[in-house]
Amino acid sequence: MSACIELNQVGKTYAGVTALDELSLTIERGEIVGLLGHNGAGKTTTIKLILGVIAPTRGSVTVLGYSPRGKQSKSLRLQWGYLPESVGFYEQLTGREVLEYFARLKRIDRARVRQLLEQFTLAQAADRRVKTYSKGMRQRLGLAQALLSSPKLLLLDEPTVGLDPIATRDFFLTLDELRRQGTTIVLSSHVLPGIEQHVDRVAILDSGRLRAWGTLDDLRREAALPLTIRARGNWPDGFDPDHLPHAGISSYQYADNTLTLTIKREKKLTIMRELLADKGIEDIDVQAPSLETLYTYYNNGGDTGHA
C-alpha cells in the first residue's frame, strides 16, 4: 500500500503564532483517518496544507506523490473532493445547477449529477433554488459536490453537521463503500461516537502538536485505560464479590442483577474466567475505552482526570 498523503516535520506559523508544530503523518491509500482536536488545535490548517491553499513554513507536504502547490496541482485538484465546515453556494442557483456548474469545471458527465441527486435524496428538490434549502439539504448538496469526480482523496470537515440520523447513517455507509473502492478519506469531526466504527486510524491534535496517532487498538494499548465489564445473571441472594480476585478491580457496582466492574486491562482474562465459572452468569459484555475517552485522555496529556 502506497502513501496518499505525507506530512514530514511540517510547521506553520502565522505572524509569530505557531498553528502547527513539527507534524509528521503518513496516510495510506484507501484508509479513513479521523483528524481530531479542539478548535484551534490545527485541524483546519492541516487540511489547508493538504489542499495546497497555504504553504508550510517548514517541512514538506506530498499528496498522491506530488506537492499540492507544485506543477501538478491542477491535475491533483481533479482527483480530490473537499467539503468545508461551512458550506456556501450561489443562493439563486438550483441544486441541479450547482452540481452541473462544478461538473463542467471538472469535466464530468451530467449523468453523474443525476446519480448524486438521487443518492443524497435531493432529486425532488433539484430544481429549487438553494436559498430555499434547509441546513441538512445544503450539507447533502455539499457532499454530492465533493463526490462528483469519484475522488481518490476526500477531505471532509464536520460533514455530518445538519444531517438527521438516517442521513448520517447513509453518509457513513457511503464512506465505507468509497474506502472499499480505494478512496482515501480524511475526516475532521467533533461527533466522536459517530465516526468511531468507521475510522482506520485517528490523529489527535492539540495546540498544533500531534498528541496521538494510530488505530484505536494502538491507542488503547498505549493509554492502558481500564476496561468496563457488565455481567448480568440470576443471583437470588445477590452476587458475592468474594468470588472475584480483588487485584485488578478498580470499582464494583451491583444493582438489578447486573454487575459492573472497572478493571485493569491486563486482568481481563483472569476476571473473565472467574465470572464464566459462576453458574448464575447469563450474559457478559466487555467495553474498551471509547474514542471519546481516548480523546479526553490524550488531550489531558495522558491524564485520566481522576485523582
> Residue 260, class by beta-carbon neighbours within 10 Å (0-12 exposed, 13-18 middle, 19+ buried)?
middle
Q: Which residue has the cell 463503500?
A: 177
pLDDT tens figures, 75-124: 888 889 998 887 788 899 999 999 999 999 888 999 999 999 998 899 99
Cell of 263: 478493571
Q: Enter the CATH code of domain 226-288.
A: 3.30.70.250
Q: How much is the pTM?
A: 0.85
CA quadruple 135, 136, 139, 144: dihedral sign:
negative
Q: Which residue has the cell 467495553?
A: 287
Q: Enter the CATH code of domain 3-220.
A: 3.40.50.300
Asked whether the beta carbons of 38 and 299 are under 8 A apart, the reply is yes
pLDDT tens figures, 17-34: 999 999 999 999 999 999
CATH 3.30.70.250 region(s) of the chain? 226-288
CATH 3.40.50.300 region(s) of the chain? 3-220
